[in-house]
A and B are shown apart, each in its own frame.
Chain A
Amino acid sequence: MNQSFPLKPRSSNDLGSLHEAPGAKTKPETGLANLKYLIVGLLFGVVFVKAEIISWFRIQEMFRLDSFHMYGVIGSAVVVGLLSVQFIKRFGIKTMTGEPVHIAPKVFHKGQIYGGLIFGLGWAITGACPGPLFAQIGSGYGLVAVTLLSAIGGTWLYGYFREKLPQ
């Protein structure tokens, strides 16, 4: 499996390399540069609501195999994501600022099984993975703020008990 990008020799007029901090995978960004993520997030949130992915009912339909909608959404998102990543790798596409694209590999550990099952159980109760939680709150479902605080609490508890859990 291809876990990192092949390092290509850089040409001397590649400005990107001049800015790269030693060892850093990405350049630090501050302040206004982060606004672009706010905008991407906003568009993403609109899609979440308009495709009703944030709906508790749609998640129930998915787990009851009564609708193709969520499978279509996730499946086609994976296909487009996969094609994009393979395209970026194949042609060595650089980021806007000229860095080579870096994706950290996912390393297997038992948490992906135990944690994955626990998240799945919670997903079917709350009707939301972490992304839709934020969009549900924005949509005006006030009680979901409690769900989000609980999810932050759950993350904190994981950090607290981490040493004692199988990894």
Chain B
Amino acid sequence: MEFLHTIRQPWPWYVAGPLIGLTVPTLLLIGNKSFGISSSLRHICAACLPANISFFHYDWKKEAWNLFFVAGVLLGGFVATRFLANPDSISIAPRTVAALQDLGIRDFSGLMPADLFALSNLFTLKGLFFSVIGGLMVGFGTRWAGGCTSGHAIMGLSNLQWPSLVATICFMVGGFVMTHLLLPFIFAWVN
């Protein structure tokens, strides 16, 4: 039970990071697959709604491994939350809490702020911004960039690809601009 208690605590970065890094050689060695997640979104388009778009006309079934992988990630999310959940609330850096309180976030108990991601926000401006518009940007941006945090920041940098370094820097710049320059306006609008 001691073991179960330990793994229910939040895992530190020096445990999680190396485990995530090990995904790279694991996928290479079990099937010669390059780690990457955003491609799954493209395969879903190719499978469900290829329309007349040549970008989606390819044999997505050959890339089915990627869909199995993300289905596994979803299941892993369920398993970890259902069986290994941390009994305590998440502890967030006090400065971030203060900054988010200024923006109108009140609920700091879960991994996601209920103020933004409760299902009841679906048809509100919050839902529109934080789920619909945010999601569109994630999907559009990752495909245009040719990868996301996994494909570029982890797989690309692991293989010393300088275009991946450019992409990773741009991911971070975009995130800093949104957090510090744009989020205050968005929150003022949706609150």
Contacts and interface: CB of A to CB of B under 8 A. Distances in A.
A35 B68 contact: yes
Interface residues of B, number: 130
Contacts of A18: none
Contact of B23 (A36, A40, A67, A162): A40
Name, among B11, B64, B158, the residue most crowded by chain A CB atoms within 10 Å (CB to CB): B158
Contact of A107 (B64, B152, B163): B163
Contacts of A15: none
Contact of B170 (A60, A70, A112): A112
B32 A102 contact: yes
A56 B116 contact: yes
Contacts of A96: 29-31
A119 B80 contact: no
Nearest to A119: B141
Contact of A116 (B32, B132, B145): B145
Interface of B: 7, 10-35, 37-38, 40-42, 44-45, 49, 51, 53, 55-56, 62, 64-66, 68-81, 84, 86, 90, 92-93, 95-96, 99-100, 108, 111-113, 116-119, 121-122, 127, 129-150, 152-164, 166-180, 182-183, 186
Interface of A: 1-2, 25-26, 28-29, 33-64, 66-82, 84-85, 87-88, 93, 95-96, 99, 101-109, 111-131, 133-144, 146-160, 162, 165
